[in-house]
Amino acid sequence: MRSKSKARKGGESSNLQVFNFNEMKEATNDFSFDNKLGQGGYGPVYKGKLRNGQEIAVKRLSETSSQGLEQFENEVILTAKLQHINLVKVVGFCVEREEKMLIYEYMPSKSLDYYIYNQDRRLLLDWEKRVQIIEGIIQGLLYLQEYSRLTIIHRNLKASNILLDLHLKSKISDFGMARVFKKDEVEANTRHIVGTP
């Protein structure tokens, strides 16, 4: 059974759906290999379909993942608060047993790296499409750093974290390593190196 979650930080709330493990198991056909979309530092990502017909992407935390509970919570809280056409929408999450999963809108055209690092597929991106993708990334970053209620520095922006919808419109994903700044802060130091080597 799904319910509305009140993910709180700084007194704000969100309307993320809370899913149970069996719903995610059913949606992904028991996390079948055929439904696997990819593998990242967080763990595997699966395509799924909810009972209402909505297509989703399920990011499942791997037991061997270097990204733990803190990054999971960070992504849930941040993405619940951030609403922009060039940011991937988080539908909900699942925390049950030892499982931690993030459920996103499904992006049918995969990620930018699927195209630009392949000699044949890169030809599908003419200059008009490339400019459109770049403009979408810029709009997403501008929102994060200037116009959202929070000032967000992504800290892991790369081609595999730029997802593309059916019309190749770009959306920024993966906020597990993002950093929140106060509006009056102009600099900050971090103690750990983050991102992709």
Angle at 34 between CA 31 and CA 39, to 5 degrees: 70
Domain boundaries, the chain: 3-105, 112-181
Q: Helix or strand or coil: residue 182?
A: coil
Quote the pTM value. 0.80
How far is residue 84's CA from residue 137's CA, in Å, rounded to a whole number? 11
Amino acid sitting at position 184: D
pLDDT greater than 50 at residue 11: no
Give residue-wise pLDDT tens across range 136-188. 999 999 999 888 877 888 888 999 999 999 999 999 998 878 777 766 655 65
pLDDT tens readout for residues 92-107: 999 987 889 999 999 9
Superfamily, domain 3-105:
Phosphorylase Kinase; domain 1 (3.30.200.20)
CATH number of 112-181: 1.10.510.10
Instruction: List the structure tokens of 155.
Output: 């800290």
The three-state secondary structure class of 73 is: helix
